[in-house]
Structure 1
Amino acid sequence: MDNSSLELESCTTMRNQFSRIFLYSFFTIGIVSTVVGNFLVVLSIAYFKQLQSPTNCFVMSLAVADCFVGLVVMPYSMIRTVDGCWYFGSLFCKLHSSLDVMLCTASIFHLSCIAFDRFYAVCNPLIYSLKMSQSRVALLITICWAVPMLISFGPIMLDLHIAGVDIRIPEDLCVFLVSRIYAVMASLVAFYLPMAIMLVAYWKIFKAAKRQALQINSSKKIRHRISMRRERKAAKTLGIIMGVFLIFWMPFFTLNIVDPFIGYTTKVVVWDIFLWLGYINSSLNPFLYGFFNRSFRRAFLMNIKQLLWGLSSHEDLSSSTVSSALHCLRHSLSTLSVGALSLMYSCILDVSSWIVASTLTSPRPPSLRLAYSLRVLDLGWNPPCMVRSFRVLTSVVCISSFGHLIIPAGYLITGSA
């Protein structure tokens, strides 16, 4: 979404050659990182079934919007910012402005949907699966794309966004001037309403997490405690993402409302700075997810290795994953407490999720592959908690393409609820 002051004379390139080369290099790095980072998010979720949760459906759609920001919006904005000119005609200027408004608004809408999804997951866990069905997720994603399209292409292509603004703009400039009414209404819909939804959702998540942390004690169900720790961590992560979103988009949308009321006197350089701050948000989202989410981090590593070296990276990942899980198991078996046994159960789940990932990334046909040896143990366990039985029986753990840890003698490591 771009705007400018009333400096509407024909463009002249004011920057020297060194400045232009530096700025083009700097912006190109940002564009490439935006496209590649968001493409890896899309690829990871599409490729790994264990990442295909309702929340990650929103994340995937968000990454698509951010990827298109890097592909079709940022390159032309870069040329306009560096050269101070528009070389592509007035019709493409309208199209570019429409895509800019639509994709940036869609990105913001998806962040509010992610916050809404986390609110239900943390505050209403018993009805979450009912509320966040596949059809409802699809409906919300459709809204995230349809509403931005309505407030962008229609008004801009029909010049409704400058109704009442009597200013002639040269064809060699692409200046997105807006009327007071459009500035207020579009900013409310595109930014302030989603921001309000996110603030309310994260505030309620914070209060619920704090309340539940006080209520949960050693007598509570083990799996519930593990689940709540996971949800609180996710809420903190998404809260950081929202904080970044506010820092990078708030200046632009504040100025977007103020500028029409002060006679469009804001300097072009100020608009450019605030505009590119907003674009940076699209660049940072995939790195925030990759840094805070272990599953995404593993998927990123697999995809990067496959894209750069054409290798199947599950073998490298298997060693560290299984070794850490077995270290966890040995610690649990040495204590045999209820808490340690729950830790042992979570370790098996961790190895199982690696199995799914390795199966999906393996180019070879279904087979059994030797992973690690376990010490002999026959443990019967039936505490009054959600995990009613757990049995580990020896020998050698093999990894099946069907996603099980199998003892060659025919026994299966299980944990039933």
Structure 2
Amino acid sequence: GNRYFVTVIIVACVHNSPNQVSRIFLYAFLSVGIVCTVVGNCLVVLSIAYFKQLQSPTNSFVMSLAVADCLVGLLVMPYSMIRTMEGCWYFGVLLCQLHSSLDVMLCTASIFHLSCIAFDRYYAVCNPLLYSLKITRGRVALLIVICWAVPTLISFGPIMLDLHIAGVDIPLPGDVCVFLVNRIYAVMASLVAFYLPMAIMLIAYWKIFKAAKRQAVQISAMESQMAAGVGKDSSKKQRHRNAMKRERKAAKTLGIIMGVFLIFWMPFFTVNIVDPFIEYTTEVVVWDTFLWLGYINSSLNPFLYGFFNRSFRRAFLMFMGCRVCLPGTSPGMELSHTRKEANEHSDQP
């Protein structure tokens, strides 16, 4: 098993890409992915930082998530692209350790933020009366610190001290940077980085789904009452109905984001746990494919926000068209397109 692994690595290093055209195409494709990751997540950060309408507890998590995803695009993906395409590592042993540490830390931080967003949405939809009491600025800040601190602890500590490869007896050439892990680290790190956050997200979204179904019945009943003409309270009920619809739409959007997250990260973390138990015989091309699927999740999040959220979409367009510099544009401006939506937002507490 070990000899096979080393042979595969050396062969990949010497005979990585026989077809020059496919090599150029892959470099171009991965480069576009990196640019989209950086630009898309920068747009999220700028939009939330500039427009007051986007500054909410949920979007504090979204902004911190975008910072993590942007750093994946800046610090991790370019080196991973060269390693994937060349089959070799040209940057030395120390930078290999740093790259692996940043890779684990930033991808884990991204996943942690998604579970915090799910938790936040759970409170907003299932306990709306307690939401402002429970989800305070201080608690949001504490959760964001945890989202960065725990991934740092499980990445830099073990990897820089070589604890993740304790007991792994596989000699590797000096010009190769492969993230090998022993069985204990593979199981523990995957549980903390993926499976526990995944469980939190699944439970939160299941509860949100059930609450949304109940609210759909309430909305239907309110619409029937308003159609019959209920009198003075109808405007209040309309506002309540609009608020419930907004929360359900936000929950649906974040549910889709989570579904995409599962599709793109599940293959990597499954292989990550299985590989040490099958004597590291997973093909290099399988590893690279599943790893890049995970990276793609970091580039997709901003597009999902832009696609599903009109306020984000308009903020993105304003930054891309440099319209934030024009007269009449201010941080406090309304990002909704229609007057009806502007009125709905003005009803928010």
Distance 2:328 2:146 in 1: 37
Q: Which runs of 4+ in 1 moved over 4 A?
A: 309-315, 318-322
Indicate if the aligned counterparts of 2:65 and 2:110 stay in contact, CA closer than 8 A. Answer: yes
Could you tell me how far 1:298 is from its partner in structure 2? 1.0
Letter in 1 for 2:165: I
Deviation at 1:321, TM superposition (A): 6.5
Q: Structure 1 residue 69 and structure 2 residue 64: aligned?
A: no
Q: Which residue does 2:95 correspond to in 1?
A: 92
| Amino acid aligned to 2:74 | L
Question: Structure 1: which 5+ runs fail to align?
Answer: 329-345, 353-414
CA contact (8 A) 1:162 1:178 kept: yes
Q: Secondary structure at the match of 2:322?
A: helix
Match of 1:184 in 2: 187
Deviation at 1:49, TM superposition (A): 1.0
Equivalent position to 2:47, from 30, 41, 44: 44
Which structure ranks higher in relative contact order (CA pairs < 8 Å, sequence separation ≥ 6)?
2
TM-score for the superposition, normalised by structure 1: 0.74
Q: Which residue of the other structure, out of 276, 281, 303, is the alignment partner of 2:292?
A: 276
Question: Does 1:9 find its partner at 2:25?
Answer: no
1:201 to 198, 204, 208: 204
1:261 aligns with 2:261: no
Aligned twin of 2:239:
223
Q: Structure 1 residue 145 and structure 2 residue 148: aligned?
A: yes
The answer to whether the 8 A contact 2:69-2:299 is kept is yes
**Residue 225 of structure 1: how far off its partner (Å):** 1.0
Q: CA deviation at 1:314?
A: 4.5
* 1:301 Cα offset (Å): 0.9
Please state if 1:348 is matched with 2:349: no
Q: Distance in 2 between matches of 1:226 and 1:320?
A: 17
Range with bigger deviation, 222-231 or 37-46: 222-231
What is the CA–CA distance in structure 2 between the aligned matches of 1:416 and 1:261, rounded to whole Å?
53
Work out the CA distance in 2 between the residues paired with 1:73 and 1:187: 19
CA deviation profile, 1:185-236 (whole Å, cap 9, x unmatched): 0000000000000000000000011112223422582221111100000111
Using the alignment, how far apart are the partners of 2:344 and 2:335 within structure 1? 15
CA distance in 2, matches of 1:320, 1:172: 51
Match of 1:171 in 2: 174
1:118 paired with 2:113, answer no
Q: Give ranges in structure 2 of 5+ residues lacking alignment.
A: 226-233
Shift, 1:18, TM fit: 2.2
Q: What is the TM-score of this pair, normalised by structure 2? A: 0.88
User: 8 Å contact 1:62–1:110 — kept in the other structure?
Assistant: yes
CA RMSD of aligned residues (A): 2.4
- Partners of 1:303 and 1:313 in 2: CA distance: 14
- AA matched with 1:201: A
Distance in structure 1 (CA, Å) of the matches to 2:120 and 2:290: 29
Task: Look up the SS of the partner of 1:169 in the other structure.
Answer: coil
Which of these residues, 322, 325, 333, is aligned with residue 306 of structure 1? 322
Distance, in Å, in 2 between the alignment partners of 1:247 and 1:177 is 23
- Shift of the 295–319 alpha-carbon distance from structure 1 to 2, 3 Å rule, reads closer
Deviation at 1:8, TM superposition (A): 4.2
Counterpart of 2:69, as a letter, is D
The 1:93/1:55 distance shift into structure 2, 3 A limit, reads: same
| Cα separation, partners in 2 of 1:239 and 1:5, compared to 1, 3 Å | farther
The one-letter code sitting in structure 2 at the alignment partner of 1:271 is: W
CA distance in 2, matches of 1:319, 1:201: 31
Please give the secondary structure, in 2, of the residue aligned with 1:264. coil
Instruction: State the number of aligned residues.
Output: 328
Indicate conservation of the 8 Å contact 1:121/1:128, yes or no. yes
Of Structure 1 and Structure 2, the greater helix share is in 2
Structure 1 pair 159/17, CA: closer, same or farther in 2 (3 Å)? same
Give, in whole Å, the separation in 2 of the partners of 1:320 and 1:43.
14
SS at match of 2:14: coil
1:108 corresponds to: 111
Distance 2:348 2:59 in 1: 26
Task: Give me the identity figure in percent.
Answer: 76
- Distance (whole Å) between structure 2 residues aligned to residue 193 and residue 173 of structure 1: 31
- How much does 1:250 deviate? 0.3
Alpha carbons 2:16, 2:85 under 8 Å: kept: no
Q: Secondary structure in 2 aligned to 1:9?
A: helix
The Cα shift of 1:347 comes to 4.6
Work out whether 1:58 is the aligned partner of 2:61.
Answer: yes
Q: Distance in 1 between matches of 2:205 and 2:5?
A: 36
**How far did residue 20 of structure 1 move?**
2.3
Counterpart of 2:229 in structure 1 is none
Structure with higher strand content? 1
C-alpha distance in structure 2 between counterparts of 1:319 and 1:347, whole Å:
7
Distance 1:64 1:118 in 2: 20
